[in-house]
């Protein structure tokens, strides 16, 4: 607090190229210009207007402290004015946010717009919840996918936005179920931890078969009578095709894979196998949710016995969660 109100004599500290602030005496006129441009150009999508207002304010603000918080408040004001949800910037995305803000200083807006758009999708998924009808959800997604990023109007980016929304809905359903179990039971509880969804670039790289880091989406720890009985992690990877798949051969599809074990065990992120647990993989394709599960049978592979999987589109996210918790609590832990 001792530096509050002191004008900056050093450059702003982004992780990338630094940007010198303006002289403090020119701030009022610069703010007036910013407001005039924002009010006049009201045809752009609220996400793009929010990104612009956020970045322009950081150009003007001359103080060492406070500009980030105020800029994020202005961003949320623009989103609320456009009838969207306020998103802020979570601490888990702070490094990506600083990089994107620095890129926007050089007129590369993709990163900042993508961060705000993806955060908007996450907030919409939590707000709408599993009770929202598919048709209503699709309207939200279609509207956001159409207008959110004017530099990413290609079909692939729209596909990513729809996919990300569906993945966030699945994660939200798991989180809500974990909270409900913890609230109503004296014996059982579930700890939930979520991670930022992979960005568009990582999504494309996974689809192309490239390696990627930070692909965990969420994890849960199941607690029985105060003891941590089981932990599972759900992560992103490219779907490995099966002969029975209805997809176009070679089509890049990113799925959610399941792995787990005792809380302190080393987990298998290649080919998870457990006869007590059926769930193996979830993916969204052409408006359908596919669940891949172990059918209890083995077949001879090239070098060893491998599991036989089947898939279905008949299950909702709630059905999948119910079956998984039944396997974990009842079959695996004898509840």
Q: Is residue 157 part of a domain?
A: no
173 and 142 within one domain: no
Among the listed residues 52, 55, 46, the one whose alpha carbon sits nearest the alpha carbon of residue 124: 46
Identify the pLDDT of residue 7.
Answer: 43
98 and 231 within one domain: no
Q: Would you call 19 helix, strand, or coil by DSSP? A: coil
Per-residue pLDDT, averaged over 292-319, amounts to 89
Give the number of domains in the chain.
2
324 and 182 within one domain: yes
Q: Is the pLDDT of residue 165 over 80?
A: yes
Q: Is residue 18 part of a domain?
A: no
The chain-wide mean pLDDT, for the chain, equals 84
In this structure, are strands 279-285 and 188-194 parallel, antiparallel, or unpaired?
unpaired
HSE value, Cβ hemisphere, 13 Å, CA-based, for 268 = 7
Q: Which residues are annotated as a binding site for ATP?
A: 65-72, 97-98
Contact between 113 and 200 under an 8 Å Cβ cutoff? The reply is no
CATH of residue 38's domain is 1.10.3290.10
Q: How far is residue 279's CA from residue 323's CA, in Å, rounded to a whole number?
A: 8
Q: Is the pLDDT of residue 6 over 50?
A: no
Catalytically annotated residue among 61, 165, 239, 285: 61
Q: Is residue 314 part of a domain?
A: yes
Per-residue pLDDT, averaged over 232-243, amounts to 90
Q: Which residues are annotated as a binding site?
A: 65-72, 97-98
176 and 129 within one domain: no
From 112, 147, 182, give the residue that closes a domain: 147
Identify the pLDDT of residue 66.
Answer: 55
* 166/139: higher pLDDT: 166
Q: Is the pLDDT of residue 179 over 90?
A: yes
Identify the pLDDT of residue 12.
Answer: 47
Q: Is residue 163 part of a domain?
A: no
Q: Is the pLDDT of residue 11 over 70?
A: no
212 and 103 within one domain: no
Q: Is the pLDDT of residue 72 over 80?
A: yes
176 and 310 within one domain: yes
At 22-46, the pLDDT tens digits run: 777 888 888 898 899 989 888 889 9
Q: Across the strands, what pairs with 292?
A: 281, 311
Q: How far is residue 35's CA from residue 56's CA, in Å, rounded to a whole number?
A: 10
220 and 264 within one domain: yes
HSE value, Cβ hemisphere, 13 Å, CA-based, for 60 = 19
DSSP string, 25-55: GGHHHHHHHHHHHHHH---S-HHHHHHHHHH
Residue 61 is among the residues annotated as catalytic for this protein: yes
201 and 124 within one domain: no
Q: Is residue 10 part of a domain?
A: no
* 309/135: higher pLDDT: 309
Among the listed residues 220, 215, 217, the one whose alpha carbon sits nearest the alpha carbon of residue 238: 215
220 and 87 within one domain: no
Q: Is the pLDDT of residue 132 over 70?
A: no
Please, which residues have CB within 8 angstroms of residue 255's CB and are 6 or more apart in sequence?
A: 236, 237, 238, 239, 281, 282, 283, 292
Q: Is residue 6 part of a domain?
A: no
Identify the pLDDT of residue 1.
Answer: 33
Q: Is residue 294 part of a domain?
A: yes
Q: Across the strands, what pairs with 63?
A: 7
Phi/psi at 149 (5° precision): -140, 105
Identify the pLDDT of residue 140.
Answer: 65
106 and 44 within one domain: yes
From 147, 178, 196, give the residue that closes a domain: 147
**Range of lowest pLDDT (84-93, 131-140, 204-213):** 131-140
Per-residue pLDDT, averaged over 246-268, amounts to 86
| Lateral strand order in the sheet of 216-224 | 188-194, 216-224, 227-238, 254-261, 279-285, 288-300, 305-312
Identify the pLDDT of residue 97.
Answer: 86
The model's confidence at residue 62, banded by pLDDT at 50, 70 and 90, is low
269 and 134 within one domain: no
**Range of lowest pLDDT (66-75, 104-113, 177-186, 290-299):** 66-75
From 117, 147, 177, give the residue that closes a domain: 147
Q: Domain span at residue 273?
A: 169-332
302 and 220 within one domain: yes
* Residue 285 to residues 50, 173, 246, Cα–Cα distance (Å): 31, 19, 10
Q: Is residue 17 part of a domain?
A: no
The model's confidence at residue 8, banded by pLDDT at 50, 70 and 90, is very low
């Amino acid at each position: 607090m001792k530096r509050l109100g002191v004008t900056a004599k050093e450059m702003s500290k982004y992780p990338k190229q630094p940007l010198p602030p303006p002289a403090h005496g020119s701030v009022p006129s610069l703010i007036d210009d910013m407001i005039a441009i924002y009010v006049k150009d009201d045809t752009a999508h609220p996400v793009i207007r929010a990104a612009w207002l956020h970045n322009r304010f950081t150009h003007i603000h001359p103080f060492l402290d406070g500009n980030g918080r105020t800029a994020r408040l202005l961003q949320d004001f623009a989103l609320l004015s456009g009838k969207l949800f306020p998103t802020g910037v979570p601490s888990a995305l702070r490094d990506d946010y600083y990089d994107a803000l620095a890129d926007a200083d050089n007129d590369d807006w993709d990163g900042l717009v993508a961060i705000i758009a993806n955060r908007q999708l996450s907030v919409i998924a939590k707000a709408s919840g599993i009770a929202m009808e598919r048709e209503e959800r699709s309207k939200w997604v279609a509207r956001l996918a159409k207008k959110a990023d004017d530099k990413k109007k290609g079909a692939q980016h729209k596909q990513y936005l729809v996919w990300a929304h569906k993945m966030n809905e699945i994660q939200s359903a798991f989180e809500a179920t974990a909270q409900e179990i913890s609230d109503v039971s004296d014996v059982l509880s579930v700890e939930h931890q979520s991670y930022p969804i992979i960005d568009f670039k990582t999504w494309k790289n996974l689809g192309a078969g490239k390696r990627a880091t930070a692909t965990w989406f969420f994890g849960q720890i199941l607690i029985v009578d105060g003891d941590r009985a089981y932990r599972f992690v759900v992560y992103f990877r490219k779907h490995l095709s099966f002969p029975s798949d209805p997809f176009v051969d070679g089509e890049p599809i990113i799925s959610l894979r399941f792995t787990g074990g005792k809380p302190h065990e080393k987990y298998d992120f290649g080919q998870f196998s457990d006869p007590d647990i059926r769930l193996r993989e979830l993916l969204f394709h052409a408006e359908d949710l596919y669940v891949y599960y172990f059918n209890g049978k083995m077949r001879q592979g090239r070098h060893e016995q491998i599991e036989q999987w089947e898939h279905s589109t008949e299950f909702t996210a709630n059905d999948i969660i119910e079956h998984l918790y039944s396997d974990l609590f009842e079959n695996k832990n004898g509840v």
